[in-house]
Amino acid sequence: MNMSALDEIRAERLKKLSILTEKGINAYPATSSRTHSIGEALASFDTLSTDATEIVLAGRVLITRGQGAILFIDIQDGSGKFQIVLKSDEIDEEKFTLFKDVVDPGDFIEIKGTLFVTQKGQQSILGKDWTMLSKSLLPLPDKFHGLQNEEERFRKRYLDLLTHPELREMFARKEKFWDVTRNFMKQKGFMEVETPTLEITTGGAEARPFKTHHNDFDIDVFLRISVGELWQKRLLSAGFEKTFEIGRVFRNEGTSPEHLQEFTNMEFYQAFANYQDGMKLVQELYCTIAKELYGKTVFTYKNHTFNLLAEWKLIDYVDEVFSQTGVSVIDATEDELKAKLQELGVTYEGENRERLTDTLWKYCRKNISGPAFLVNHPKLIAPLAKGQDGKEVVQMFQPLIAGSEVGRGYSELNSPLEQRARFDTQQALIVGGDEEAMMPDDEFVEMLEHGMPPACGFGERLFAILEDKPLRETQLFPLMRPRLD
């Protein structure tokens, strides 16, 4: 709908608002007299209609039909839809006329009346009185076409959600997704914790952070890029053996179907466990989520079909890259890695070995449907993971599903000397211009010097893949650029 048409509609509705104002009617009252939600009215319909109990429903007007002495109106609240029947001989004549003159689809109203069944068998409420709760000035999207432009859908998410019940259902599933996750972790004896969102140094992942200024301390701080990994490890040192946190993560990087600047994640840490223990727990968690949330374990995402109850294969990072590309990421030079990426037509950012290795792996992973666990990662790309004895790889795992890594866990590095050396390597990458390298954390190393038990840690992101949706679609309000108008 073009702006001139919208302007005309708005002007017409402003006139209707003026009619209400002139009659001394507040079109935006602070309270409602609703006695039942629509869902409650439907659940108790037989009892309420038999007793002719007068009730009050409230909701948004979706459509009005009819003319003359009878009107049919559909309203909706958060629990469902219901039909209102207004008859001129059952309601005050002035109220009936006013309804026809001022009420539009999009308005919120409340209706007082009794429940009955129409001749066509439609459960309805026979209106005896009505009240305006909120007069809308702009129309709802066309119910058949909705918001067609993706940017408008995200910018006006409230309308997108209003006109697409299946979208609201997806977010109800997302809430249950985290409920199932939380209950699973607690049943396994993990304690839920809260760790800082603002950090002096970011840790737990390799990503470009958001930076802001703390006025009271007069220092720059960063929004966290992991769900408190280094903080949860401090809790292990403090004597807590099993912790987890579900929280927001912020990464100042590009947007893609699998990457956003802000999202919810979960991380857990378990003392006296290793990455093999972590794999067993994660596999059980994923299967539990699938069964409880969807009642199935077979899913399709993009061009991949996978069964979470199938055998989870172990895929060796170095061997898999060699199998697909003929390159050993342990032995190849940086020039050889670049040459292979160029040969494959893969665009890469960053000139250092870590970025080149990671980019080559990301090219390979898209061919793996899973479910599988990726293991034996090169040390360079996992600065917080314990190494495999005598090898240049670490005790790390990542669930691979539908060509994507949907989590990361490892036997936590608890040697302060080796952790310091790994941080020194990351600092060299930062000096070299790598904005995603991990910031060294001297206080974390100091904690390790006091002692931290062997442990497994893990972080996950899975919901979007089970829904077969881009990650952005599973966010209620994804960040949008300011509109230029």
Specify whether the CB–CB gap between 62 and 76 falls below 8 A.
yes
pLDDT at 379: 84
pLDDT at 111: 98
- Of 340, 307, 314, 357, the closest CA to residue 466 belongs to 307
Task: State how far the alpha carbon of 370 is from the alpha carbons of 11, 27, 378, in Å.
Answer: 57, 56, 21
Scan for tokens 């974390």, then name that residue: 444
Sign of CA dihedral 109, 110, 113, 114: positive
Whether residue 457 has pLDDT greater than 70: no
Average pLDDT, the chain: 90
pLDDT at 37: 97
Higher pLDDT, 448 or 168: 168
Residue 14 — pLDDT band, cuts 50, 70, 90?
very high
- Of 271, 282, 206, 252, the closest CA to residue 459 belongs to 282
Record the tokens describing residue 334, joined without a space.
């940086």
Whether residue 68 has pLDDT greater than 90: no
Q: What is the pTM of this model?
A: 0.86
Q: Catalogue the E-assigned strands of 308-411.
A: 313-316, 372-375, 396-401, 404-405, 407-411
Task: State how far the alpha carbon of 484 is from the alpha carbons of 149, 253, 394, 480, 481, in Å.
Answer: 16, 22, 48, 12, 9
Sign of CA dihedral 26, 28, 30, 35: positive
Which three-class secondary structure state does DSSP give residue 43? helix
pLDDT at 460: 64
pLDDT digits (tens, 9 = 90+) for 396-413: 999 999 998 888 888 888
Q: What is the average pLDDT across 207-217?
A: 92
Report phi then psi at 174, rounded to 5: -65, -40
Question: Which residues, at least 6 apart from 330, have a Cβ–Cβ distance to it below 8 Å?
Answer: 318, 378, 392, 393
pLDDT at 75: 97
pLDDT at 168: 94
Record the tokens describing residue 99, joined without a space.
């309804």
pLDDT at 176: 96
pLDDT digits (tens, 9 = 90+) for 279-336: 999 999 999 999 999 999 999 998 899 999 999 999 999 999 999 999 998 889 999 9
Residue 3 — pLDDT band, cuts 50, 70, 90?
low
Whether residue 24 has pLDDT greater than 90: yes
CA distance 276 to 40: 49
Strands 313-316 and 372-375: parallel
Residues of the chain above pLDDT 90, percent:
62
Whether residue 96 has pLDDT greater than 80: yes
Q: What is the average pLDDT across 420-447?
A: 83
pLDDT at 436: 72
pLDDT digits (tens, 9 = 90+) for 279-290: 999 999 999 999
Q: What is the average pLDDT across 263-285?
A: 92
Residue 386 — pLDDT band, cuts 50, 70, 90?
confident
CA distance 22 to 378: 75
Q: What is the average pLDDT across 261-287?
A: 92
Whether residue 459 has pLDDT greater than 60: no
pLDDT at 80: 94
Task: State how far the alpha carbon of 265 is from the alpha carbons of 18, 245, 386, 429, in Å.
Answer: 49, 8, 23, 26
- Other beta carbons within 10 angstroms of residue 313's beta carbon come to 12
Q: What is the average pLDDT across 112-127?
A: 96
Higher pLDDT, 214 or 253: 214
Q: What is the average pLDDT across 100-116?
A: 96
Q: What is the average pLDDT across 113-131?
A: 96
CA distance 75 to 160: 17
